[in-house]
Structure 1
Amino acid sequence: MQAVPHKSLEKFGLQKTDMFGIVFLLAGFILSVLSLFSGVLSRTENNLRALKIWVVDFDGSMSPYDDIEPIIGPIITDIIMEDFSSARQCPTLIQCTPHSFQNDSMAVRQAVYEEQVYAAVIINANATSSLQAAVTSGSPSYDPLGIAQIVYNSARDENTYYAYIIPTLFQLQTKVITKFGPRWIEMMRSNGSLNDPRIPTQALSPSIGFTEIDLRPFSPAVATPSVSIGLIYLIIIAYFAFPFLMPIHNRLNNKRQGRPVKASHMLLWRLMSNFVAYFILSFFYSLIPLAFGIPFSNPRGSTTEVIMNGNEYGKSSFVVYWMLNWVGMTALGLPSENMAMIIGAPWSALWLTFWVISNVSTGFYPLDLAPGFYKWGYIWPLHRVVEGSRTILFGTHSRIGLDFGVLFGWVGVSILLFPFAAAIADWKAVSKKK
């Protein structure tokens, strides 16, 4: 017995099975593609050990403090490693020797800036000598914050730092100060100097502290869209440039004076018009952070000192930012145009969904904390745009050559595929007419 077409679908030549087939196809798309977004965060807590924090004790390691037996540094290091070395779902703390950095604490800061590690705890070379001097001489100028440093770089990835690194560092400081106090008081009591009225109060409590050094702070807050959610619009604008320009392309493709436009000329025109359109659109996109006060002309500054909005290219930073967005928009837009020609409407909407989700998942979230499956994200366009934007806006460690190189790779491959995609689109148009 044949199925009777549903009356509301009959005029389209469809049956109920056609509708349900499409619905289940969309359901499968939801399960497979939308899962990419949740999957990138699925093992975050288990992968926190991939975030590395160095602990480097310079106490008594260099002149003129190398003739003093270090006391403070070893105690602090022991407390840290005892409490955090075996902790689960926590960044990994690694004890490093000062010789690994040629006894130079600035080399540790440089390593943090170069993103070899997420943060570092540095016990200063004068930790023991300064505290002992405060006890013996009664100097009121003693500052507990001169004992140690905590160095990090929040502009590298503000979400990871605020969610995992900085809370761990705060917990570390609290435990060290809490546990060091009783030990220090006991040491003072044992040598009979506890009741010496010359000892400044701060040398007894808290006696030690940590100076926090954020080499590249994430600021101002209005910069957030430029390195996160706002970049979704870069994809969408690049995608919708194609249907808006198609009527112009079709007009040119019609016969003029009885002679059609050559296919090669038409392909060249479409590519060049895309480059020009993306060039202009990316300029206006880049104007938005400039209009809202994000600096684009600050000097780069030292890589081992705190610099607020140290633009990597000084007064040329806006031009570099514009070029990054232009190449990024082209790398995001040309693949979308190719796919739109190959699969056509309405299936191109599924491509846009996949393109947005795959780029957002790998561009806005730390791949260090993602499952290994997501390693392909390092070559996805938006990841390189985000990384390059952070370098330009905040002066973070530069991989701008790699960023542009990957984006140009996407552009090059898209150009090579463009004639084939156009040929498929023409073949489908002719078949439809027949």
Structure 2
Amino acid sequence: MSSRRPSSTTRTSRDDEPNAITDQGELVREEDDAEAAKHEHRPFSHGWRDPAIAGARAAYMKAIAGGTLLTIVAILAILSIYWGAFWKLDDHLHNLHVVVADLDGGSIGQFVTQGLTSSNFTGSPKQLTFDVANRGQFASTQDVERYVLNEHVWAAVVVESGASQRLTAAATDASYNGSLALTVIIETARNENAVPVYIQPYLESSLRTLGAAFALQRARQLSGSDASAILGTAPQALTAPLGYTVRDLRPFDVPVAAAVDFVGLIYLLIISFLLTLLNYNARAASRLDTLLNLRSLILIRLIVPFAMYFAVSWFYSFISLAFQVPFSRWYGDGGFLIYWSMSFIAMCALGLAVEALVTILTPRFVPYFLILWIISNVSVAFYPLELLPGLFKYGHASPFYNVELAVRSLLFGTKSFLGLNFGVMVAWVAVSCVTIPLFSVLIRTRDRRAARRRIEEEKLER
């Protein structure tokens, strides 16, 4: 019996040997993992290919690849908006209307009216649309000017009263000036890009062609003796009987205004974006996002941006004043206050939209919205909406477009839409004042649920 005990003891130890080896192996692996972890977190000591930072390297490459792909998608989807706004502008030239006002009623008036409304000058998408004024619609050139200033049309061609009679009497009038027969009325400040690039050149080219045709027709109608007499007394009545004079009612005569009504708007949006990030990072650094109750958080998210925009918009507006932008030219001393008010409400409209979306997108992805926000506004602020595809009609509700209209009215005296412009901005602010609390509630609810899950997991681990 005593001889069996050693064998039993030996057998038992052999049975336990695999477990001992397993436990020892796990202990070794745990020590290796601990050492690797310790090595991995050692700062400033790793090469790019070091296996100890494989996890960090993989996370970095994943972030870079994902961000690059998202940027490519943003380029294709968002920048296409801007490119599309400038694509085939000529194909929409027919959306720009020009009124033809015949105050003469004679041969010149009939010739010009019939000529401009013929297929040679109008009727196709790449031609201006000429609308003939009804007889008696305008009593004078001043009436036509008011019609243009009220922006019923983009320009006007006026056949001046008595033009045909003056030409008939030109055989004995050496002072005859054919350029007084027609008046081209434009308003460059309404859009300094479209009027001098598309409207004015087209009108002048058309009228030069008509003038040459009229001179040839008249020369053929005159007998040799009459032609000789006119050449002797008033040669211009034969060589250039039909000309024109350009009258720019609202010239774009403040070059620095380009920084106020276009480029400056981009800066205004960028400043609003910076203030939004400042507000976000200040809340995160102070941990107010987690310390405040929901009501207090929503209040500071609404009140603090308004306070920042109020202060910053003053200094933004003072830059234009310092460079002598003439705000008092049409609205007196109140012009600058109107401009500051528009800058302030525009900053609120632009910035609060970012303030709302940073809640959902976080600072990591909100720059992509900034790109969309800039491009969608800039695309409708350079050329008239009539020249852009129908998709861009949204421009009537865009902040940039409305600020631009307000600035043009303040600086150049174009038609005022200030009530509408401010109304659009207030609407944007109102939408943001609804979405900011809504998104705050959604994120706070999500965070509370996540916190409860962490507490429950900690309890289960214990």
Q: Spell out the pairing of 1:11-410 with structure 2 (5 A cutoff).
A: 11=56, 14=59, 20-60=65-105, 70-82=106-118, 83-86=120-123, 88-99=125-136, 101-135=137-171, 138-189=172-223, 192=226, 194-195=228-229, 199-249=233-283, 254=288, 261-298=292-329, 311=330, 313-410=331-428
Separation in 2, partners of 1:402, 1:392: 14
Question: Which letter does structure 2 place at the counterpart of 1:91?
Answer: L
Quick check: 332-341 or 198-207, which moved more? 198-207
Query: Which whole-Å deviations, capped at 9, do the CAs of 1:264-310 have from their partners, x for residues lacking one?
Result: 23422332221121122112111222222221222xxxxxxxxxxxx
Query: Which whole-Å deviations, capped at 9, do the CAs of 1:185-242 have from their partners, x for residues lacking one?
Result: 2333378364257732333332232121111111221211111122100110011101
Q: 1:53, CA displacement in angstroms?
A: 1.5
Other-structure match for 2:18: none
Note if contact 2:160-2:180 (Cα within 8 Å) is conserved in structure 1. yes
Q: 1:145, CA displacement in angstroms?
A: 2.5
What secondary structure, in the 3-state scheme, does the structure 2 residue paired with 1:362 have?
Answer: coil
Quick check: 351-360 or 7-16, which moved more? 7-16
Separation in 1, partners of 2:404, 2:447: 38
Instruction: Provide closer, same or farther for how the CA distance between residues 420 and 204 of structure 1 changes in structure 2, counting only shifts above 3 A.
Output: same
Separation in 1, partners of 2:64, 2:200: 52
Other-structure match for 2:29: none
Note if contact 2:230-2:237 (Cα within 8 Å) is conserved in structure 1. no
Question: Which letter does structure 2 place at the counterpart of 1:93?
Answer: F
What secondary structure, in the 3-state scheme, does the structure 2 residue paired with 1:90 have?
Answer: coil
Q: 1:85, CA displacement in angstroms?
A: 2.5
Note if contact 1:55-1:121 (Cα within 8 Å) is conserved in structure 2. yes
What secondary structure, in the 3-state scheme, does the structure 2 residue paired with 1:56 have?
Answer: strand
Note if contact 2:227-2:238 (Cα within 8 Å) is conserved in structure 1. no
Separation in 2, partners of 1:163, 1:407: 30
Question: Which letter does structure 1 place at the counterpart of 2:70?
Answer: L
Instruction: Count how many residue pairs are aligned between Structure 1 and Structure 2.
Output: 402
Quick check: 31-40 or 403-412, which moved more? 31-40
What secondary structure, in the 3-state scheme, does the structure 1 residue paired with 2:131 have?
Answer: strand
Other-structure match for 1:422: 440
Instruction: Provide closer, same or farther for how the CA distance between residues 84 and 6 of structure 1 changes in structure 2, counting only shifts above 3 A.
Output: farther
Question: Which letter does structure 2 place at the counterpart of 1:182?
Answer: L
What secondary structure, in the 3-state scheme, does the structure 1 residue paired with 2:414 have?
Answer: coil
Question: Which letter does structure 1 place at the counterpart of 2:408?
Answer: R
Query: Which whole-Å deviations, capped at 9, do the CAs of 1:84-118 have from their partners, x for residues lacking one?
Result: 0345512222333333x143433322221111111
Q: 1:74, CA displacement in angstroms?
A: 1.3
TM-score by length of 2: 0.79
Q: 1:331, CA displacement in angstroms?
A: 0.3
What secondary structure, in the 3-state scheme, does the structure 2 residue paired with 1:97 have?
Answer: coil
Note if contact 1:111-1:117 (Cα within 8 Å) is conserved in structure 2. yes
TM-score by length of 1: 0.84
What secondary structure, in the 3-state scheme, does the structure 1 residue paired with 2:161 have?
Answer: coil
Quick check: 111-120 or 5-14, which moved more? 5-14
Separation in 1, partners of 2:348, 2:366: 18
Q: Report the structure, 1 or 2, having the larger helix content.
A: 2
Separation in 1, partners of 2:286, 2:147: 56
Separation in 2, partners of 1:348, 1:188: 75
Other-structure match for 1:63: none
Q: 1:392, CA displacement in angstroms?
A: 1.1
What secondary structure, in the 3-state scheme, does the structure 1 residue paired with 2:223 have?
Answer: helix
- Indicate the percent of aligned positions where both proteins have the same amino acid: 30
Question: Which letter does structure 2 place at the counterpart of 1:49?
Answer: H
Note if contact 1:249-1:270 (Cα within 8 Å) is conserved in structure 2. no
What secondary structure, in the 3-state scheme, does the structure 1 residue paired with 2:202 have?
Answer: helix
Question: Which letter does structure 2 place at the counterpart of 1:139?
Answer: D
In structure 2, runs of 5+ residues without a counterpart are 1-48, 455-462
Instruction: Provide closer, same or farther for how the CA distance between residues 191 and 329 of structure 1 changes in structure 2, counting only shifts above 3 A.
Output: farther
Query: Which whole-Å deviations, capped at 9, do the CAs of 1:312-369 have from their partners, x for residues lacking one?
Result: x222111101101111110000000111111102111101111111111122232212
Separation in 2, partners of 1:263, 1:183: 82
Q: 1:373, CA displacement in angstroms?
A: 1.5
Note if contact 1:341-1:424 (Cα within 8 Å) is conserved in structure 2. no
Quick check: 83-92 or 119-128, which moved more? 83-92
Q: 1:141, CA displacement in angstroms?
A: 3.5
Separation in 2, partners of 1:9, 1:431: 32
Separation in 1, partners of 2:280, 2:169: 78
Question: Which letter does structure 2 place at the counterpart of 1:199?
Answer: T
What secondary structure, in the 3-state scheme, does the structure 2 residue paired with 1:293 have?
Answer: coil
Instruction: Tell me: higher relative CO, structure 1 or 2? Use CA pairs within 8 A at least 6 residues apart.
Output: 1
Note if contact 1:185-1:194 (Cα within 8 Å) is conserved in structure 2. no
Separation in 2, partners of 1:154, 1:111: 15
In structure 1, runs of 5+ residues without a counterpart are 61-69, 299-310
Larger radius of gyration: 2
Separation in 2, partners of 1:343, 1:246: 12
Separation in 2, partners of 1:23, 1:254: 33
Q: CA RMSD in A?
A: 2.8
Other-structure match for 2:42: none
Separation in 1, partners of 2:112, 2:254: 34
Note if contact 2:170-2:230 (Cα within 8 Å) is conserved in structure 1. no
